[in-house]
Amino acid sequence: MKRLLQSVALALLPVTVLAAETRFGDGLPAGEVVLRADGHGDVHVAVLGTPGDIRVIRDGATVYRASPERLVGFDVASDGDAFGFEKIALLRLRDAWDEPRAVAGLSSGVGGRVFVSRRDDVWVAGAPMMLRSRSGETLRTGFNPGDAIRLEPRCEDSYGNLWAARVDRAGRGAGLAVLPIGEKLTPGDMGRWQTVELPREFGARWTDMCADDAGFVWAALETELARVDPQATDGGVRLFKAPAGAQISAIARAASRNLLVGFADGAIREIEVVTRTGEPVWRELRKGGGGPVRAMLHAADGSLWFVAGAELFQSDVAAEPWQRHWRERPRMPLGNHDNIFARMGDTLYTAGGKTFNGWPADKWVNLDHIWKYDIPSETWSVGPPMLESGKSYPGIAALEGELWIVGGLFRAGNGTKATATVEIHNPKSGDFRLGPKFPSERGQIVALSAGGRLYAVGGEDGPASDEMFSIGPGETAWRAEPAAPGPVTQAAGCVIGHRMFIAAGVRSNCPGLFVFDVKARTWSSVKHPADTPPAAPLVTALDDEVWVMGGRGKASGEVGVHAWSAKTEGWRRGPDLPLPLSWGAAAAVSGRLLIAGGAYREGRVGGFYNSDRVFVLKER
């Protein structure tokens, strides 16, 4: 097989053409362009066609280049692996200097687009099998290569759904299809694709699909955009006309915004729809010129990459202020909140949570599985279900190499019902067993490990509690501890040395931090700099500092970040969060702060939105 990737002997130097744009020399050939970024920050540029063209940009220079014989599909996984479909074989391009290898089970002969999901599952348009790249397992897709309408997976939304274009044999659009994968993605989930009808025929020519940061799915036609609302039971499809005389040639997700739209005259605009039923607002980010916009990518560092005509550009026109301090990392399996982290070794764990998911995503769902985040590879996976099905809001902490999952809430009519069950999970074996029952039925417990014991504080089943209990290795009953200074609810905590720190809001009568010294078995308090300390903040310890981030203020979500030093016993201000997040997870990872999930009030959906986004603070 022809060698696919070759190192470039002389890196291609960028050429600055405008104050906000950098042009990369050596023009691109004709053909459809795929722009992708991997988890390392490299930008991959692939031109589909005969022959194809692949380039990888790193630190402002082209470091790889290839000319596949016939490249008809290309995508990049979060771990940096690239997948291309050349002739009849799916190729994994793991190392730029290795020969590509066909992946067993996907050399179907159908050819077509490649899509890699956030779990690094690899789909080929029309192929009867898909590849779970981390395990090497293949699963049936429900596709039949002989069907008159072929499904081309294109994007995922934040509700756990996979979206595909329905394309006829001539390549014309025939509508959309959705696969409600949800959190589990078991083989039984395959093959249940559902058709999503548009108000009129999708059109003889269309460009692409993507999901935005409010949960909507967008498809671009020549002169209008179709937007699907996964939370609407009727599909919630709306059409938005492009500005007069403009022809759409590309679309892309814009971080924290709605959508970037490229046009055949070289212009780039942002479309914003303030509410579900609101009218669009168009903002021009780039004037026309230089040929049609063929592809766009809003990268994690805030730069906008796009191909206009035969040239590749990088621009700062779409950069957000928060991107100076925070960098996006691979997303969670789906949007979630109340997903507190517990860490063991190089893995972060979270148990349960509560969100909207599936199709339509119109009902609250309790997520009762263990989620895992592998720190070295920055990848997410969904682990086994807890013993009590349908449970969310438990406390979670690590004790002697096992996860302790304490209490939790079930849905009961319009309310909830608490449990006192304690589940112990062994990540190595994957097994669960029951632990000593908690003294009270509680959900939203703050669980922390300190001084060789596990402490469980507060929680609620109706009224919130100030009770605290602890348990040690080998013990068969919980020990009563001194009660907290107030009822602990909507709270999160961390540990530094022999002290536990819990941040809660005014409902807990907490001035900022409740502090428990496990040696002295005494409580104290620390006042937060804000007049009203936030409820439900994201909390973690980094070195000798307690970081309290976001949360709910007097009337709305907060973006403020404050760090309290256990050495100086003083506060300092940190960079604001990218979003006004509450009820999310936080951890210290490789000397950096990582935050994941959480919820905030989002005007575009008219209520609270559960985030699937993950951010790392670049520097303190």
pLDDT tens readout for residues 523-557 = 999 999 998 999 999 999 999 999 999 999 888 89
Which own/partner pairs from 217-225 qualify as long-range (CB within 8 Å, at least 24 positions apart)? 217/155, 217/157, 217/163, 217/176, 218/251, 218/259, 219/165, 219/176, 220/248, 220/250, 220/251, 220/261, 221/173, 221/248, 222/247, 222/248, 223/247, 223/248, 224/248, 225/251, 225/259, 225/261, 225/271
Peptide bond into 360 cis (omega under 30): yes
CA distances from 586 to 117, 146, 425, 542, 546 (A): 24, 48, 21, 10, 11
Q: How far apart are CA 241 and CA 506, in angstroms?
A: 47
Token representation of residue 384: 């086994």
Query: What is residue 274's predicted lDDT score, i.e. its pLDDT?
Result: 83
Handedness of CA 170, 174, 175, 180 (dihedral sign): negative
Q: Which amino acid is at 553?
A: G
Query: What is residue 70's predicted lDDT score, i.e. its pLDDT?
Result: 81
β-sheet bridge partners, residue 525:
514
Q: How far apart are CA 131 and CA 142, in angstroms?
A: 13
**Residue 189 backbone zone (phi > 0: left; psi -120 to 50: alpha; other: beta):** alpha
Q: How far apart are CA 301 and CA 315, in angstroms?
A: 11
Query: What is residue 175's predicted lDDT score, i.e. its pLDDT?
Result: 85
Kindly give, in sequence order, each residue whose CB lies less than 8 Å from that of residue 154, ignoring residues fewer than 6 positions away.
113, 115, 163, 164, 165, 208, 209, 210
Query: What is residue 81's predicted lDDT score, i.e. its pLDDT?
Result: 86
pTM attached to this predicted model? 0.93
Quick one: which of 85, 236, 216 has its CA closest to 156? 216
β-sheet bridge partners, residue 455:
448, 470
Query: What is residue 404's predicted lDDT score, i.e. its pLDDT?
Result: 98
Query: What is residue 11's predicted lDDT score, i.e. its pLDDT?
Result: 37
Would you give the distance in Å from CA 560 to the centre of its chain? 22
Give backbone dihedrals phi and psi of 507, rounded to 5 degrees, phi first. -60, -25
Give yes or no for a contact between 309 and 262, defined as CB atoms under 8 angstroms apart: no
Burial per residue of 15-31, b for 16 or more beta-carbon CB atoms within 10 angstroms, e otherwise: eeeeebbbbbeeebeeb
Quick one: which of 502, 499, 571 has its CA closest to 535? 502
Low-confidence ranges of the chain (pLDDT < 70): 1-19, 87-88, 95-102, 104-111, 182-191, 200-206
